[in-house]
């Protein structure tokens, strides 16, 4: 194979670059303003309440954090599993992973009741808490991926690339398992009381991360007027197809095992049949848009080498993934906890036994979107400053 040259990604036109960055900056500024507003007023100005304690910001944050770990997949395949076609994409894979994680964490932190006490979270650890472990897993991820990128970019340390790649691979599996386990530990809530939650999050991360990777890769090469060959895109596309199928499989397994557990019938029919907006999000958002549509776009011979189909499939996966997390996070809370089996709640001073309502507000959405903008801005700046992208990704001649 011919030698790869990496070069900073300059946009075809400087105005386009700066205008793009300014747009992202504006979105971030609006998000930060929204966070300040919610913090200053208190959370009552959001849609969240004592019933729905984690709202839209958590959906965005978890979505981005999960995707971050999956975005590193391409690098892992390149250096850990020795896939030569993937190897040139490793640097970008690492950069995107860092960007997505930073965006997700920003949203998570700014939605805390007391973000000013972040230092407490960094210094006080309850090692029984999976949240505390996640603080360590997330900070470690930055460090390890940083070193990993270094071994990819600097020839003098490139001999460490494989071992560091292994560490990064296992670290990110741990990270997603940790994120999934946040829910697995909530024994009292029927929606989350399932061991399958953690592996499901790992496979979700593969799928969302790769979708983010593909869509931004295509965008970057259009943006920088560079060439990208069909061979690599087809590989990535096929891989995405496998992941999407796996997520669908896990989602089915999760819901079917819940159907086996008698106490969980309530939550199942809530999600699958009569949960109103959550049922729609599940069937239309997660299953139709997030799984069936991309599988069709990926495997239908009609779209064989169509880049638009690949891009559209990736976007559909991301939209479906967003809904999937929305249903897990918000739907799981909206469904009432069953404190008194065999009894019906006739009256309650605190909304027992009723489906909690939640309407997301603009500030929450603005904060969440700002997280995505942070990820993209970091990628845009990082790719311009460092040699991340290969000069060309045209198919090798041999």
Partner 1 sequence: MSKKSDQPSMDRRQFIGGTVAAAGAVTIAPGVILHAVAGSNEQTEGASSEHRWGMVIDANKCADGCSACVDACNNEHELTDLGRPETDAAWIRTVKLKDKQTGNISRLPVMCQHCEHPPCVDVCPTNASFKRVDGVVLVDRHRCIGCRYCMMACPYKARSFIHEALTDQSVYAPRGKGCVESCTLCVHRIDEGVMQTACQEACDKAGHGAILFGDLKDPNSEISQVLKKYNSVQIRGDLELNTGVRYRNL
Interface residue with partner 1, options 30, 135, 196, 315 (CB under 8 A): 135
Helix H or strand E segment including 280: helix 277-280
Instruction: Give 1 or 354: the residue with its C-beta nearer to partner 1.
Output: 354
Interface residue with partner 1, options 30, 132, 153, 292 (CB under 8 A): 132
Site membership for partner 1, residue 398 (CB under 8 A):
no
Q: Over the range 60-85, which residues count as b (16 or more CB within 10 Å of their CB) and which as e?
A: bbbbbbbbbbbbbbbbbbbbbeebeb
**Distance in angstroms (rounded) separating the CA atoms of residues 8 and 391:** 8
**Which residues, other chains included, contact 283 with Cβ-Cβ below 8 Å and sequence gap of 6+?**
272
Interface residue with partner 1, options 7, 30, 153, 189 (CB under 8 A): 189
Site membership for partner 1, residue 225 (CB under 8 A):
no
DSSP 209-268: HHHHHHHHHHHHHHHTT--B-HHHHHHHHHHHHHHHHHHHHHHHHHHHHHHHSGGGHHHH
Stretch of 15-23, 43-51, 153-161, 168-176 lying at the interface with partner 1 (CB under 8 A): 43-51
Q: Which residues from 49-108 bind partner 1, rule CB under 8 A? A: 49-51, 53-54
**Token reading at 203:** 């496979």
Site membership for partner 1, residue 351 (CB under 8 A):
yes
Interface residue with partner 1, options 230, 352, 391, 395 (CB under 8 A): 352
The 3-state DSSP class for residue 198 equals: helix
Stretch of 22-30, 185-193, 302-310, 387-395 lying at the interface with partner 1 (CB under 8 A): 185-193
Interface residue with partner 1, options 112, 157, 242, 385 (CB under 8 A): 112
The 3-state DSSP class for residue 390 equals: strand
Interface residue with partner 1, options 131, 283, 296, 386 (CB under 8 A): 131
Range list of β-strands (E), 81-140: none
Site membership for partner 1, residue 187 (CB under 8 A):
yes
Which of 65, 59, 210 minimizes the C-alpha distance to 137?
A: 65
- Contact footprint for partner 1 (CB under 8 A): 39, 41-44, 48-51, 53-54, 112-115, 117-118, 120-121, 124-126, 128-132, 135, 182, 185-189, 333, 337, 339-340, 342-352
């Amino acid at each position: 194979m011919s030698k790869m040259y990496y070069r900073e990604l300059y946009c075809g036109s400087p105005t386009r670059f700066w205008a793009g960055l300014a747009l992202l900056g504006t979105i971030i500024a609006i998000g930060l303003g929204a966070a300040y507003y919610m913090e200053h007023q208190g959370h009552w100005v959001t849609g969240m309440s004592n019933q729905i304690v984690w709202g839209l910001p958590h959906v965005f944050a978890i979505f981005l954090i999960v995707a971050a770990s999956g975005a590193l997949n391409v690098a892992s395949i390149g250096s850990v599993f020795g896939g030569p076609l993937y190897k040139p994409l490793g640097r970008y894979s690492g950069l995107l992973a860092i960007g997505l994680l930073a965006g997700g964490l920003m949203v998570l932190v700014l939605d805390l009741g007391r973000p000013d006490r972040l230092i407490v979270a960094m210094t006080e650890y309850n090692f029984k808490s999976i949240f505390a472990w996640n603080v360590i897993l997330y900070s470690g991820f930055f460090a390890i991926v940083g070193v990993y990128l270094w071994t990819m970019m600097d020839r003098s340390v490139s001999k460490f690339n494989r071992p560091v790649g292994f560490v990064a691979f296992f670290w990110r599996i741990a990270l997603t398992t940790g994120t999934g386990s946040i829910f697995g530990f909530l024994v009292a809530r029927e929606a989350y009381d399932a061991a399958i939650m953690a592996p499901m999050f790992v496979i979700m991360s593969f799928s969302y991360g790769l979708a983010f990777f593909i869509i931004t890769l295509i965008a970057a090469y259009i943006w920088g007027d560079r060439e990208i060959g069909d061979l690599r895109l087809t590989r990535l596309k096929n891989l995405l197809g496998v992941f999407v199928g796996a997520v669908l499989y896990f989602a089915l397994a999760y819901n079917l095992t819940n159907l086996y557990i008698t106490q969980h019938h309530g939550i199942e029919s809530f999600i699958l049949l009569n949960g109103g907006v959550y049922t729609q999000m599940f069937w239309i958002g997660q299953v139709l848009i997030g799984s069936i549509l991309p599988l069709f776009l990926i495997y239908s011979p009609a779209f064989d080498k169509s880049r638009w189909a690949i891009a559209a499939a990736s976007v559909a996966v991301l939209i479906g993934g967003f809904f999937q997390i929305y249903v897990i996070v918000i739907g799981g809370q909206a469904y009432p906890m069953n404190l008194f089996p065999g009894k019906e709640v006739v009256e309650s001073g605190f909304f027992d036994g009723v489906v909690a309502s939640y309407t997301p507000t603009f500030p929450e959405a603005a904060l969440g979107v700002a997280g995505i903008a942070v990820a993209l801005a970091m990628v845009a700046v990082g790719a311009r400053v460092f040699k991340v992208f290969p000069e060309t990704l045209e198919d090798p001649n041999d």
